[in-house]
Amino acid sequence: MKKTVTVFRGDGIGPEITDAVLRVLDAAGAELDYEVYNVGAKEYDLHGALISDEAFASMERNKVLLKSPITTPVGKGFRSLNVFLRKKYDLYANIRPAKSNHAVKTPFEDVDIVIFRENTEDLYVGVEEQIDADTVYATKIITRKASQRICRDAFEYARAHGRRKVTCVHKANILKMSDGLFRDVFYQVRADYPEIEADDKIVDNVSMQMVMHPQQFDVMVMPNLYGDMLSDLASGLIGGLGLLPSSNLGEEYAMFEAVHGSAPDIAGKGIANPTAFLWSACMMLEYLGQMECAARIRRSVDKVLEEKLYNTPDIGGKATTKEFVDEIIRKL
């Protein structure tokens, strides 16, 4: 029986890569039906709402969302729709795997890092207060409950996937109460996983270590803001944001999205790289138990990347999005 999933087409390159990914999923024989909605800035301009009531109802009915990039205004306008969805549906675990592909050359080899980013609190709650014309306070929120569940998910993932180590990233030397709580909870949870190595590192040191010796990192777990920053850094190690997928998981709902933004500068040019979004869709297939379909897609993408004849410009090629996807489908 086919599983129905909700699809948000997004802004910028969002509609282009959404159509590309759905083509590949259908060609691979994914047991899926789709309820597709336009969302984001353009939808807001046309109808006064970023997400329609029908789109929300679909998400709440199907409980699985494949979401393409959505533009967020900088410094004004509405807050990030991604942040809103994560809070609304308690999608507390943001999982971002960054793995080297030998077909995409970078100065770094054998990178295989999985970042677990707590998704619902920290500075991302957006609690700000205008004290006076020249002063703004922002509130950082760290709770025991949220820290426990993201740390436990990281260790559970490590155990299930044969990973050797989990690293906690923090700034507890300065933020002794908030990041201190996160670090303390990490080691409390670790006691239930004695077979897995555990360590902790300060976030600024991690930033340096990731670009000097990234192979030392395996699974990493951290509060929200650090996760946002370091996952983008991790994408640079493997060839760019066009290669970094993600899942956002809660107890009831799941959302799958590429880490990159809507790239309005190349929207409509037909050169967007759909790989990160396609691999996010593979994470969705695996979440739904469709392992072989996901594996077939991953193998096909790897072959196309390795041959280099149909790669998009961001990874050193000259192919269009359509040419890239057509070749993936031929490999299928």
**Is residue 329 left, alpha or beta, with left meaning phi > 0 and alpha meaning psi from -120 to 50?**
alpha
Q: Select which of 11, 122, 200, 228 is catalytic.
A: 228
204 is catalytic: yes
Instruction: Return d(Cα 124, Cα 327) in angstroms, integer.
Output: 40
Cβ-contact 243, 315 below 8 angstroms? yes
Residues 6+ apart with CB under 8 A from 181: 142, 143, 144, 147
| Three-class DSSP labels, 194-241 | CCCEEEEEEHHHHHHHHHHCHHHCCEEEECHHHHHHHHHHHHHHHCCH
> Which secondary structure element, helix H or strand E, spans residue 325, and what is its range?
helix 321-331
* 71: Cα within 13 Å, side-chain hemisphere: 19
Could you tell me if 196 and 159 are in contact, meaning their C-beta atoms sit under 8 angstroms apart?
Answer: yes
Active site residue 45: no
The one catalytic residue among 34, 124, 157, 310: 124
| Amino acid letter, 291 | M
DSSP H stretches of helix in 79-143:
81-88
193 has catalytic annotation: no
Instruction: Tell me the C-alpha distance between 133 and 7, whole Å.
Output: 42
Residues 37, 89, 157, 171: which is the catalytic one? 171
| Active site (annotated) includes residue 67 | no
Which is nearest to 153 in space by CA: 206, 228, 93, 227? 93
Phi, psi of 301, rounded to the nearest 5 degrees: -60, -45
109-113 — which CB contacts under 8 Å span 24+ positions?
110/215, 111/214, 111/215, 111/234, 111/237, 111/238, 112/215, 112/218, 113/210, 113/214, 113/217, 113/218, 113/219, 113/220, 113/234, 113/237
Q: Which of 33, 192, 199, 204 is catalytic?
A: 204
Which one of 232, 287, 302, 303 is the catalytic residue?
A: 232
Task: Please give the Cα distance from 175 to 191 (Å, whole number).
Answer: 24
171 is known as an active-site residue: yes
Are the C-beta atoms of residues 328 and 304 closer than 8 Å to each other?
A: yes
- The residues annotated with a catalytic role in the active site are 124, 171, 204, 228, 232
